[in-house]
Homo-oligomer: A and B are copies of this chain.
Amino acid sequence: MKAVIAEIITIGDEILYGQIVDTNSAWMGTELTGIGVKVKQITSISDNATHIVQALNDARSRADIILITGGLGPTKDDLTKHVLADYFHTSLKLHEPSLADIAALFQNRGIELTELNRQQAFLPVSCTAVRNVLGTAPGMWFEQEGKVFVSMPGVPFEMKRMMTDTVLPQLKAHFRTPHILHKVIQTVGLAESILAERLEAWETSLPEHLKLAYLPNLGGVRLRLTGQGDDEAALEEELQGQVEKLPGLIGKYIFAYGEVPLEEAIGRMLQERGLTMATAESCTGGFLAHKITSVPGSSAWFQGGLIAYHNAVKTQELHIKPETLQQHGAVSEAVVRAMAENVRRKLGTDIGLATSGIAGPDGGTPEKPVGTIWIACADKDKTVAKMLSYNKSRLLNIEYTAVAVLNLLRQSLGAGVEE
């Protein structure tokens, strides 16, 4: 089956000048992929008639579906509707149902309908209006030479509602699309390049219609296996079969299947075993606890923590001996071990995690340069400590450290230690 191709065109200077981040296109990309439509290009252009026409011509030369957002506001710098009317050699006419929607919207807000907003109900004669129940700019659906053009507002919640209610269902009905299935495999602890080497033979053995994507994020790599086919059940089975080969290749680095962040995967492991944890943070300064508590329901397994930023807090609250700090320094195995063990005891949890390091940009020494970080994980039987050395920005040193100590916990829980 021939793939159905879509392109997305966003109109407006605010994206080009970086005043807003274009989150619409990513959302549209996910939704289109979900119905088996392949997005070939996303193009952001300015509110300029010539440029809009050029973008439309370029897009239609490659795609079956052209989705346009933005430039539908009531102000005079919003050209999209007029450009589209010219582009499709048609004129504007008052669209009563849209006017009714707009009037209702203003009534709800208890404000007078302005002439500018009334003008928004005038639509190109040759288009089918796409209802916008959340805003004043209706969408427009055009068809020409078998291609579909849809223009929508750039306001995210308006666009999303119109896509979900009208555009996606109608595209699904209009085009016969292949089934697209994704399998996500989450790994941590192996650099992308090393992971790729381990998977090379398997990856090259994949049939044409299965594609593997490496999606690295802080300290981990998300693997996405995408399959395309006409028989959904057979495709699902084929993907599953391929995924089941992975534990044999990279078993100990896989922490989850599907869209599950590391902290949530660890939370599940702790809950299954009825374990609780606490944190003692120096260099991560609260980010580790933040990552943990970003998981809804984490209160079931996370008791709390201490941010022992100043050494006085390390001695007073975590009972680190002043002589230990004196002798080894705050960034040392001795101190980070004691921090993990003592916070565990202090808050009465099964597990204690600790971090102590030099996040930078200042505070480095020849023996302990910026990016020298100690992490530890203590449970009732043992304490494991590890030294990290990063040379990243302050924030990245902090973020990578949090992922590393969470992975230390994952390993101490015996996760995938077999290979």
Q: What chain B residues lie within 8 Å of A126 (beta carbons)?
A: none
* Docked complex: A59-77 residues within 8 A CB-CB of B: 73-77
A351 to B387, CA, bound (A): 34
On whether the beta carbons of B292 and A285 are closer than 8 Å, the reply is yes
A75-B196, A116-B193 known; A304 and B294 CB under 8 Å?
no
A194 to B115, CA, bound (A): 10
On whether the beta carbons of B39 and A17 are closer than 8 Å, the reply is yes
On whether the beta carbons of A293 and B304 are closer than 8 Å, the reply is no
Digit string of A199-223 for contact with B (CB within 8 Å is 1, else 0)?
Answer: 0000000000000111110000000
Q: What chain B residues lie within 8 Å of A27 (beta carbons)?
A: 18
**A157 interface hit (Cβ, 8 Å):** yes
Q: What chain B residues lie within 8 Å of A29 (beta carbons)?
A: 15-19
* Docked complex: A151-186 residues within 8 A CB-CB of B: 155, 157, 161
From the candidates B16, B32, B116, name the one contacting A39 in the complex (CB within 8 A): B16
How many residues in A have their beta carbons less than 8 Å from beta carbons of B? 107
On whether the beta carbons of B308 and A304 are closer than 8 Å, the reply is yes
On whether the beta carbons of A46 and B40 are closer than 8 Å, the reply is yes
Expressed in whole angstroms, the minimum distance between the Cβ of A408 and any Cβ of chain B is 16
**A134 interface hit (Cβ, 8 Å):** yes
**A138 interface hit (Cβ, 8 Å):** no
A362 to B295, CA, bound (A): 11
Q: What chain B residues lie within 8 Å of A155 (beta carbons)?
A: 216
Task: Choose the segment among A83-91, A237-245, A375-383, A389-397 that binds chain B (4+ C-beta atoms closer than 8 Å).
Answer: A389-397
Task: Determine the residue in chain B with the shortest Cβ distance to A303.
Answer: B310
Q: What chain B residues lie within 8 Å of A46 (beta carbons)?
A: 40-41
From the candidates B77, B196, B309, B347, name the one contacting A313 in the complex (CB within 8 A): B347
A371 to B45, CA, bound (A): 36
Q: What chain B residues lie within 8 Å of A371 (beta carbons)?
A: 108
**Which residue, of A29, A33, A297, A302, has the highest number of chain B Cβ atoms within 10 A?**
A29
* Docked complex: A89-138 residues within 8 A CB-CB of B: 105, 108-111, 114, 116-117, 133-134, 136
Q: What chain B residues lie within 8 Å of A284 (beta carbons)?
A: 290
Expressed in whole angstroms, the minimum distance between the Cβ of A186 and any Cβ of chain B is 13
Q: When A and B form their complex, which 3 residue pairs have the shortest distance between CB atoms, in order from nearest?
A: A285-B293, A286-B289, A18-B29
Can you list 20 A-B pairs with a CB-CB distance of less than 8 A? A15-B26, A15-B42, A19-B213, A20-B215, A21-B26, A41-B51, A75-B196, A76-B196, A116-B196, A116-B197, A161-B393, A286-B292, A286-B305, A290-B290, A297-B362, A304-B307, A304-B309, A304-B317, A305-B306, A305-B309
